[in-house]
A and B are shown apart, each in its own frame.
Chain A
Amino acid sequence: AQSVAQPEDQVNVAEGNPLTVKCTYSVSGNPYLFWYVQYPNRGLQFLLKYITGDNLVKGSYGFEAEFNKSQTSFHLKKPSALVSDSALYFCAVRDIGSSNTGKLIFGQGTTLQVKP
């Protein structure tokens, strides 16, 4: 069965420093991977996705993610964090297995706290 793990409940970084939010996945075939961000009392905002091609994916607001097939990881990164990046981040994998439902399976989420 497909699954996603976000090993850190919270990540703390200082403004201006690089940030990394970790995500690992487990799928039976090729993964479709997504990152979303959720601000308080708001829905999920799409940041970026990996379908195929270049392992480094660039997305919204200066975020990027690197797909690593050997490590089954899809970590979210940003070279210089902003206080406004503080939010809840979700990694998700698309289930394209035998059931063919195409549903998104989400991790538990990682709270990013950027301090001035």
Chain B
Amino acid sequence: EAGVVQSPRYKIIEKKQPVAFWCNPISGHNTLYWYRQNLGQGPELLIRYENEEAVDDSQLPKDRFSAERLKGVDSTLKIQPAELGDSAVYLCASSPRLAGFQETQYFGPGTRLLVL
């Protein structure tokens, strides 16, 4: 079974430029997550989708970040414009939807973003 796929793996951009990350979850997984991992820290949730609906985007900086999951499968996370502080690893995860939040989240390899 294929795991969570993310692209690109690395991205270097100048500040104020736009950038987009793509994620394809494990087949059959209804729930998709975007996390940001700053250097030396654990991941922090940005947004969670149940199928195509964003059910938790409270941590997403909406002035510059946007995300979509139009057909309930793959997803795109965008930053426009990027700032120096956005340099981090952006992780996508997916899980099947089980009652009571008992499901395991499976992570992709991440996209390492460097903003210069």
A: residues with CB less than 8 A from B are 4, 32, 34, 36, 41-46, 49, 51, 90, 92, 94, 96, 101-104, 106-109
Interface size on B, residues (CB 8 A): 26
B: residues with CB less than 8 A from A are 4, 6, 33, 40-45, 48, 55-56, 58, 91, 93, 100-102, 104-110, 112
Query: Can you name 30 A-B pairs with beta carbons within 8 Å?
Result: A34-B104, A41-B109, A41-B112, A42-B109, A42-B110, A43-B6, A43-B107, A43-B108, A44-B43, A44-B91, A44-B93, A45-B107, A46-B104, A46-B105, A46-B106, A51-B102, A92-B42, A96-B101, A101-B45, A101-B48, A101-B56, A102-B48, A102-B101, A103-B33, A103-B45, A104-B43, A106-B44, A108-B41, A109-B40, A109-B42
Q: How distant is B75 from chain A, measured CB to nearest CB, in Å? A: 15
**Please, which residues of chain A bring their CB within 8 A of the CB of B106?**
46
* Chain B residue with the shortest CB-CB distance to A94: B101
**Please, which residues of chain B bring their CB within 8 A of the CB of A103?**
33, 45, 48, 56
